[in-house]
Amino acid sequence: MNLVIFDIDGTLTNTNQIDETCFVNTFTSEFGFVNINSNWAEYKNITDSGITQQIFQEKLQRPPSELEIKRFKLAFVAKLQQEISTYKHLVKIIPGANKVLAELQNSATWGVAIATGGWYDSAILKLQAADLAIHNIPLSSSDDGISREDIINASIIKAKNNYNVEEFAKIVFVGDGIWDLKAARNLNISFIGIANRQAPEKLLDAGAKTVLQDFDNCDFTKILYTAEVSKSNIPFLLHITQRLQWEQAQAQNIYVAESLANEGFIHCSKVAQIIPVANRFFYNQQELVILLIDTQKVKAEIRYEAAETGEIFPHIYGSLNIDAVTQVIDFASGVNGYFNLPQQLKDLLSETE
């Protein structure tokens, strides 16, 4: 059996903003703390318990007592309940999340768990407000650990007990934050990013192999099977073209793909996407090249957008300046018509592992 673990805020529910507002305001109302840094990426442990520990240390030069933590949690959940009651319309489900959870709960090959950096009571409150069906899904929270890694590990243990398995064949973590990606990488488990209300390039540039806009219009189970452990960032895009077309572009000092006229942009891929793209659109073709494109040198606008499958791909909205291409790799299908990753790309990948 395999296991998929979901984060909550920004992954299953659109509750990041309401959660942040109540969290910060509780520090002020309960302890008089002001000027709270809400750039959570700057904290050592990006969990409710970890952030609370660090804020107390910075403000009072000591950790919070158990009584103070209990006081904070009660006040925070009360504020969250009030906000949700007043602004119920602000609590929304990520499109397709309910359907995916329902399908996975009926799956014989995939178990489901939840691992959130929030506290348990607030997590349940948000899930219920979003009308998400989470019955019998093991849930780990900030009550189970101070780091994201601790919480994910706790969810794996709970899932093993819930599904009565000793080990899962594959584990995939689904989250929306850079900290989610890093935690999954640190634990050497596969990762899928959700970029419903943020720029997907943040996750892609951090090394995510697969990023979805949401759970709609995609075969999520199929994506789970192909999910990979994220690697460190490789700051370039890839584009497949005919060798002759590239030679003509060099002579003209500008590259213009046919899709630029037909669709308004040049199709590109990240490393993990290039072979599936090649097999789908260039099957059994020879005389191709892969262009390695330095994103920092591209003059046209680069957008990260969802394809029909829901997967996020980079698109260049304009012609490509030649000096942005840092390497050209020969690319041809094998005798069976399918492609393999060129050794040059394998070498670049190994440098970041």
State the pLDDT at residue 346: 79
How many angstroms separate the CA atoms of 310 and 285, rounded? 26
- Average pLDDT for residues 265-288, to the nearest whole number? 92
> Tokens at residue 44, please?
């050592």
Average pLDDT over residues 72-80: 96
- Length of the chain measured in residues: 353
Give 353's pLDDT tier (boundaries 50, 70, 90).
very low
Q: 115, 154 in Cβ contact below 8 A? A: yes
- Going by pLDDT thresholds of 50, 70 and 90, the confidence category of residue 231 is confident
Q: Is the pLDDT of residue 311 over 90?
A: no
Angle at 134 between CA 128 and CA 135, to 5 degrees: 115
For 131, residues 6+ apart whose C-beta sits below 8 A from its C-beta are: 93, 98
In terms of pLDDT, which residue wins out, 81 or 41?
81
Query: Band of the pLDDT at 310, cuts 50, 70, 90?
Result: confident
Q: How far apart are CA 193 and CA 178, in angstroms?
A: 9
For 237, counting Cβ atoms within 10 Å of its Cβ (0-12 exposed, 13-18 middle, 19+ buried), the class is: buried
Amino acid in position 37: N
The CA distance from 73 to 196, in Å, is: 28
Looking at residues 55-71, what average pLDDT do you find? 96
What structural domains does the chain harbor? 1-233 (3.40.50.1000), 236-352 (3.20.170.20)
pLDDT at 214 over 90: yes
Instruction: Please tell me the pTM assigned to this model.
Output: 0.74
Write the Ramachandran bin of 32: left for phi over 0, alpha for psi from -120 to 50, otherwise beta. left
CB 135 within 8 A of CB 95: no
pLDDT tier for residue 260 given thresholds of 50, 70 and 90: very high
Is residue 203 pLDDT above 60, yes or no?
A: yes
| Percentage of the chain exceeding pLDDT 70 | 97
Instruction: State the average pLDDT over residues 221-231.
Output: 90
Average pLDDT (242-255) is 94
The pLDDT, as a whole number, for residue 67 is: 97
Q: What pLDDT is stored for residue 207 in this prediction?
A: 82
* pLDDT digit string, tens, across residues 179-202: 999 999 999 999 999 997 777 878
Quickly state the pLDDT bin for 232 (edges 50, 70, 90). low
Q: Please name the residue that has the structure tokens 């990753």.
A: 341
Closest listed residue to residue 174, CA positions, set 208, 140, 199: 208
Which residues, in sequence order, are CB contacts of 344 under 8 Å at separation 6+? 327, 329
> Does pLDDT of 233 surpass 70?
no
Go through 252-290 and write b for each residue having 16 or more CB atoms within 10 A of its CB, e for each that does not: eeebebeebeeeebbbbbbbbbbbebbeeebeeeeebbb
What pLDDT is stored for residue 304 in this prediction? 85
Look over the chain and give the mean of its residue pLDDT values, rounded to a whole number: 91
Show the DSSP H helices in the chain as ranges: 16-31, 48-60, 66-86, 97-105, 120-129, 148-163, 178-186, 201-205, 220-226, 243-252, 258-262, 271-281, 343-352
Task: Determine which of 246-250, 303-307, 316-320, 321-325 has the lowest per-residue pLDDT on average.
Answer: 303-307
Cα dihedral value 317, 323, 327, 331, nearest 10: 50
Three-state DSSP state, 56: helix
Residues 297, 279: contact at Cβ < 8 Å?
no
Angle CA 173–177–180, to nearest 5: 35
Dist. CA 34–CA 237, nearest whole Å: 43
Mean pLDDT value of segment 231-243: 84
Answer whether residue 109 shows pLDDT above 50. yes
Are 306 and 312 spatial neighbours (Cβ–Cβ below 8 Å)? yes
So what's the pLDDT on residue 312?
85
Whether residue 293 contacts residue 314, with contact meaning beta carbons closer than 8 Å, is answered with: no
